[in-house]
A = this chain, B = another copy of it.
Amino acid sequence: MNITVWNEYRHEKNNLIVAEVYPDGIHQAIANFLIEDGITVKTATLDEAEHGLTEDVLNKTDVLIWWGHKAHDEVSDDVVQKVQQRVLDGMGLIVLHSGHFSKIFKVLMGTSCDLKWREAGEKERIWVVDPAHPIAEGIGEYFELDQEEMYGEHFDIPVPDELLFMSWFEGGEVFRSGVTYKRGNGKIFYFRPGHETYPTYYNENVQKIIKNAVKWAAPLKRKRAVYGNAQPIEKLKGGMKI
């Protein structure tokens, strides 16, 4: 299992508060807890050549984790298209927090992916609403994050294939915080928490969920279906007509 954690990696270099929380970058903080599970993890960031997502890297990636925020527009359309194709071919994709507005998530969803937001350091309580889902395994009925950015409904996404988590915010909003989709042979999990100024990715519940999601999103051994012109499997009574 090969995981690539992609991070925009700008806040950590430009903002002292963020740099203090994630001195080696959000990508490294995520990589660190995944490695504990014996998973092979690489990282890639925006300012690398091809954003670190060369065709070779993508082809070897089983699950791609995506964190971006301020520089979504700087991600090249070419890379976005390659990631989309890899998802359709079976690569798992885990989109975190402000990645809701990334090109790749919007392209795979077909909607604006917009939402309400507020940076006020308020409390978030994340409830499990799908107790039979493997991504929720090991999570209690709910867990709390003392300080998080608020994301509120309406979240402009397609109807999720599965709704796993719902958030309660101190300021009065709710949010569909954990949702899954399939696209082609690939599986997608969007998970809400993870504002850059808070130590969210050190929270053990958040870590457990991302670890579970990586396993859930892993590709199956399966080629893409054959598309295009097809001969009849059964003999047509009148033969081939036009």
Residues of chain A touching chain B, judged by Cβ–Cβ distance below 8 Å, are 84, 88, 90, 107-112, 114-123, 125, 127-134, 136-138, 141, 147, 150, 152-156, 158-159, 161-163, 166-174, 176, 181-187, 197, 220-222, 224-234, 236-238, 240-242
Contact B137 A221 (CB under 8 A): yes
In the complex, the count of this chain's copies comes to 4
Minimal beta-carbon separation of A81 from chain B (angstroms): 12
Which single member of B173, B176, B197, B222 contacts A242 (CB below 8 Å)?
Answer: B197
Please state if B153 and A220 are interface contacts (CB–CB under 8 Å): no
Verify B171–A131 contact, CB threshold 8 A: no
Q: Are A121 and B242 in contact (CB under 8 A)?
A: yes
- Whether the pair B172, A232 counts as a contact (CB closer than 8 A) is yes
Q: Which of B90, B174, B187 contacts A127 (CB 8 A)?
A: B174
Q: Given A225-B156, A242-B121, does the pair A172, B168 have CB atoms closer than 8 Å? A: yes
Task: Output the nearest chain B residue to A168 by Cβ-Cβ distance.
Answer: B174
Q: Which residues of B contact A229 (CB under 8 A)?
A: 116-118
A170-B118 contact given A88-B111, A110-B107, CB 8 Å threshold: no
Chain B residues, Cβ within 8 Å of A224: 131
B184 touches A129 (CB 8 A): no
Give 5 A-B contacts (CB < 8 Å), ordered by A residue.
A88-B111, A127-B174, A129-B155, A141-B153, A168-B168
List residues of chain B with CB within 8 A of the CB of A152. Answer: 127, 230
- Report whether B174 and A158 are in contact in the complex, using a CB–CB cutoff of 8 Å: no
Given A131-B225, A186-B132, A174 contacting B174 (CB threshold 8 A): yes
B125 touches A233 (CB 8 A): yes
Seed contacts A120-B241, A122-B232, A171-B234; 13 additional CB < 8 Å A-B pairs? A110-B110, A114-B228, A116-B226, A117-B230, A120-B242, A127-B153, A132-B186, A141-B226, A154-B225, A159-B161, A159-B162, A159-B163, A168-B169
| Chain B residues with CB under 8 A of A136 | 220, 222
Minimal Cβ-Cβ distance residue in B for A85: B112
Contacting A130 at CB < 8 Å: which of B118, B159, B173? Answer: B159
- Which interface residue of A116, A138, A234, A242 has the most chain B CB atoms within 10 A? A234
